[in-house]
């Protein structure tokens, strides 16, 4: 039994008659969207609906995880667990034939409607184990993107993941590949406070799934043990960053990240998260220790011949005219080369402009101490690309970071001065690279090379404007760089505060030019409303509150108050802000002093009695205080006292009351800590109005 939607065929022979997996009514909403709107409108709809499932299923960034695969138009692809078709479109554009398998008919309908013009796609609806026996054995690629972790649910048995892989291997053509994208159970984001993606609980994977369930993610070593058990020979690992769902960069063992590159970490969108530490700083240390393969948030495992590609970065968080992919590849001689490809038809002109920019910048900097990376135009399957030499060296930003780390301020400013001298050459020439940031310059001894000049314009730009932007971007990337003496830099550049403001506004306009109407993923995250909780701040506030909201009692037996004759009563707070305690004292005490806190605060006195009789708080002969007593709505019976001091106190002359040999002072009050400045204002208002 089949159903046709546009040019796509749905095979329903193995469909059990109902969907056993569903996200609820949001799937009906997504189905309605893909029926009514074209793919170019999805970005707008994502921004308007502010929904995680809509973002997850419809974002074009989902395609990045397979976009760089070298799939040819002559090849066949099997996509297991195709869902709503987040990557089906990318596979259909690259391959000659795509076969999808998914358990859900609703999701398969979404897939079909959104890709209804793809005549090379067939979708099988049903459980994989039911569909699999009828699949051919000639696929060039089998893709499991976010699927392998469900092997136990698909296959069952004692060794479900090994069995799953063995079944898949039967459907491969010679010299073919299996591609698995999956979360790393020990990904750094989980240690830092992201919930486990599938269970929605903290540390589930790290704790080895103590509550059970059918979903399992793995470390790299565990994946390799599974592969070994299946007789897998060639395999290679790639590292999607921030993770495979919305990947912007993919690394490999042949090209691992450098220090400072992994700064885009707040990229969970589906739920609130904690932030237990600075992930960028942690990644910097992990990179330096050679442990990135252990703590990468996700893996892409390629079973079969390794890819020529060693690195890819996606800049598709932009307007259509500027969306590109940057790759680092090895050629036939084993040499690395860098290529930039357009991701849209509109971006082809942007790529063609890069070799032109090279020629103009080369002419400007001829005879200077700044080299410009060689670029020429190429073409692949009718698509233009800009190819650059792979230049050795370290980013100038990394050298500057090292100066800051060792507090070598002069070393930093020496590098900055050299930057100004080298990039400022030919300042009056009507061509300039607006993006002359520190990260775009590689330093190899005395050779400084500009490696990226994507934003080159045919007009002169003042060196101080370029340098200000470089510093501005440098500081924004890492809070630790705020230690820079920015005033010294502004003085060095001769930039006034007003000019600095104008440059910042210019940067905002430039970003709008680059992104167009498209929201950044950071902005989308804010729209979805996921909270970021910082327990370290909670602990700090708790400790501060615990320390400052402590009640201290002083007794004066004729020698005045002293720390030696004071104590802290225990179990003061019956609940938050509600203090209830008793003070037992003998007949030798003349004065009692109550310090309700060790910070500015407001105290609402609910009860203050000695031996069962009310203490007259308003009688200044009996009660004195360094706070201000506020007029209360219920008269003098339950007044509030504002303390504009960090040493608040209330002193009671107990020898003027009905003192006995053994006495009990009963205290009930609500104590609220407030900023000192606010307390001072409140106390001033008491003077004025009362």
pLDDT (mean) for 216-244: 97
The H-or-E segment that residue 681 falls in is helix 676-689
d(CA 191, CA 530): 18
275: pLDDT strictly greater than 70 = yes
The tokens describing 543, both together, are 């400790």
pLDDT of residue 303: 98
**Count helices and strands in the chain by DSSP H and E runs:** 22, 35
Beta bridge partners of 240: 250
pLDDT of residue 266: 85
Range with the lowest mean pLDDT among 12-26, 66-80, 139-153? 12-26
79: pLDDT strictly greater than 80 = yes
Residue 514 lies in a domain: no
Q: Whose CA is closest to 8, among 89, 83, 64?
A: 89
- Together in a domain, 439 and 565: no
- Together in a domain, 674 and 599: yes
542: pLDDT strictly greater than 70 = no
**Count of all residues that appear for the chain in the document:** 690
pLDDT (mean) for 342-358: 97
- Together in a domain, 592 and 463: no
Tens-digit pLDDT profile for residues 509-533: 999 999 987 888 888 988 887 888 8
More confident residue, 551 or 334: 551
- Together in a domain, 419 and 472: yes
Residue 352 lies in a domain: no
Q: How many domains does the chain have?
A: 3
pLDDT of residue 687: 44
pLDDT of residue 476: 86
The tokens describing 226, both together, are 């599974």
- Together in a domain, 480 and 549: no
Tens-digit pLDDT profile for residues 600-654: 999 999 999 999 999 999 888 999 999 998 876 655 568 899 999 989 999 999 9
**CATH number for the domain including 421?**
1.10.510
pLDDT of residue 335: 86
pLDDT (mean) for 356-363: 98
Please provide the DSSP assignment of 480-508 as one string.
GGGGS-HHHHHHHHT--HHHHHHHHHHHH
Which residue segment(s) compose the domain that 563 sits in? 544-689
Looking up tokens 């159903």 gives 3
Radius of gyration of the chain measured on its C-alpha atoms: 33
- Together in a domain, 470 and 571: no
Tens-digit pLDDT profile for residues 415-452: 999 999 999 999 999 999 999 999 999 999 999 999 99
- Together in a domain, 598 and 488: no
Instruction: State the pLDDT confidence band at 539, using cuts at 50, 70 and 90.
Output: low
Residue 527 lies in a domain: no
pLDDT of residue 541: 57
pLDDT of residue 22: 81
Residue 649 lies in a domain: yes
d(CA 227, CA 232): 5
Q: Whose CA is closest to 644, among 687, 680, 594, 685?
A: 680
Give percent of the chain with pLDDT exceeding 90: 79
Residue 375 lies in a domain: no
**Three-class SS state of 204:** coil
Tens-digit pLDDT profile for residues 283-341: 999 999 999 999 999 999 999 999 999 999 999 889 999 999 999 998 777 789 999 99
Determine phi and psi for 443, rounding to 5 degrees. -115, 125
Residue 342 lies in a domain: no
- Together in a domain, 191 and 44: yes
- Together in a domain, 43 and 123: yes
Start-to-end Cα distance in the chain = 86
Instruction: State the pLDDT confidence band at 690, using cuts at 50, 70 and 90.
Output: very low
Please provide the DSSP assignment of 10-50 as one string.
EE-TT--SS-S---THHHHHHHHHHHHS-GGGHHHHHHHH-
Domain boundary among 287, 312, 330: 330
Q: At what angle do helices 409-423 and 463-477 cross, to 10 degrees?
A: 140
d(CA 588, CA 558): 8
More confident residue, 201 or 545: 201
143: pLDDT strictly greater than 90 = yes
d(CA 649, CA 357): 72
pLDDT of residue 574: 83
- Together in a domain, 610 and 555: yes
Q: Calculate the average pLDDT of the chain.
A: 92
């Amino acid at each position: 039994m089949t159903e046709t939607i546009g040019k796509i065929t749905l095979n329903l022979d193995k469909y059990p008659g109902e969907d056993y997996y569903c996200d609820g009514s949001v799937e009906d909403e997504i189905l309605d969207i893909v029926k009514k709107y074209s793919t170019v409108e999805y970005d707008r709809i994502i921004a308007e609906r502010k929904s995680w499932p809509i973002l997850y299923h419809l974002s074009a960034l989902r395609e990045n995880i397979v976009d760089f695969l070298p799939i040819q138009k002559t090849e066949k692809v099997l996509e297991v667990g195709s869902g709503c078709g987040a990557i089906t479109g990318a596979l259909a554009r690259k391959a000659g034939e795509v076969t999808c398998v998914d358990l859900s008919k609703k999701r398969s309908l979404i897939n079909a409607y959104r890709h209804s013009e793809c005549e090379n796609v067939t979708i099988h609806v049903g459980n994989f184990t039911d569909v699999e026996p009828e699949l051919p054995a000639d696929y060039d690629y089998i893709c499991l993107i976010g699927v392998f972790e469900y092997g136990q649910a698909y296959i069952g048995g004692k060794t479900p993941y090994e069995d799953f892989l063995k079944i898949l291997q039967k459907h491969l053509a010679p010299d073919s590949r299996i591609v698995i994208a999956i979360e790393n159970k020990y990904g750094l984001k989980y240690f830092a406070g992201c919930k486990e993606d599938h269970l929605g609980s903290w540390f589930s994977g790290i704790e080895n799934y103590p509550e059970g369930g059918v979903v399992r993610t793995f470390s790299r070593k565990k994946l390799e043990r599974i592969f070994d058990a299946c007789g897998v020979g060639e395999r290679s690992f790639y590292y999607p960053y921030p993770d495979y769902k919305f990947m912007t960069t993919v690394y490999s063992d042949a090209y691992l990240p450098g220090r400072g590159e992994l700064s885009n970490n707040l990229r969970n969108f589906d739920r609130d998260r904690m932030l237990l530490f600075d992930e960028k700083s942690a990644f910097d240390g992990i990179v330096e220790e050679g442990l990135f393969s252990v703590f990468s948030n996700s893996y892409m495992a390629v079973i079969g011949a390794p890819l020529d590609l060693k690195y890819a970065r996606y800049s598709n968080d932009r307007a259509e005219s500027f969306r590109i992919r940057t790759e680092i590849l090895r050629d036939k001689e084993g040499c690395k080369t860098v290529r930039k490809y357009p991701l849209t038809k509109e971006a082809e002109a942007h790529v063609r402009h890069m070799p032109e920019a090279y020629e103009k910048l080369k002419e400007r900097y001829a005879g200077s101490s700044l080299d410009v990376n060689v670029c020429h135009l190429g073409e692949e399957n009718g698509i233009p690309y800009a190819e650059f030499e792979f230049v050795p060296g370290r980013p100038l930003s990394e050298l500057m970071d090292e100066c800051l780390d060792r507090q070598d301020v002069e070393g930093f400013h020496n590098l900055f001065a050299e930057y100004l001298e080298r990039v400022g050459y030919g300042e009056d020439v009507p061509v300039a690279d607006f993006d002359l940031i520190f990260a775009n310059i590689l330093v190899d001894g005395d050779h400084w090379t500009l490696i990226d000049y994507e934003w080159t314009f045919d007009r002169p730009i003042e060196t101080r404007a370029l340098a200000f932007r470089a510093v501005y971007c440098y500081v924004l990337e890492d809070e630790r760089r705020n230690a820079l003496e920015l005033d010294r830099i502004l003085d060095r550049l001769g930039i006034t505060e007003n000019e600095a403001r104008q440059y910042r506004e210019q940067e905002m306009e430039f970003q709008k030019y680059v992104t167009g109407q498209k929201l950044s993923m950071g902005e989308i995250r804010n729209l979805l409303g996921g909270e970021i909780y910082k327990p370290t701040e909670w602990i700090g506030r708790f400790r501060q509150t615990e320390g400052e909201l402590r009640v201290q009692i002083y007794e004066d037996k004729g020698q005045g108050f002293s720390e030696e004759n004071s104590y802290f009563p225990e179990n003061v707070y019956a609940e938050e802000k509600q203090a209830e305690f008793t003070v037992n004292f003998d007949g030798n005490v003349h004065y009692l002093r109550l310090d309700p806190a060790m910070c500015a605060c407001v105290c609402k006195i609910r009860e203050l009695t000695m031996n069962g009789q009310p203490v007259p708080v308003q009688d200044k002969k009996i009660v004195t205080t360094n706070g201000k007593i506020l007029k209360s709505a219920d008269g003098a019976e339950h007044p509030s006292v504002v303390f504009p001091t960090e040493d608040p106190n209330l002193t009671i002359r107990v020898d003027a009351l009905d003192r006995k040999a053994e006495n009990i002072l009963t205290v009930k009050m609500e104590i609220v800590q407030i900023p000192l400045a606010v307390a001072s204002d409140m106390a001033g208002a008491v003077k004025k109005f009362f």
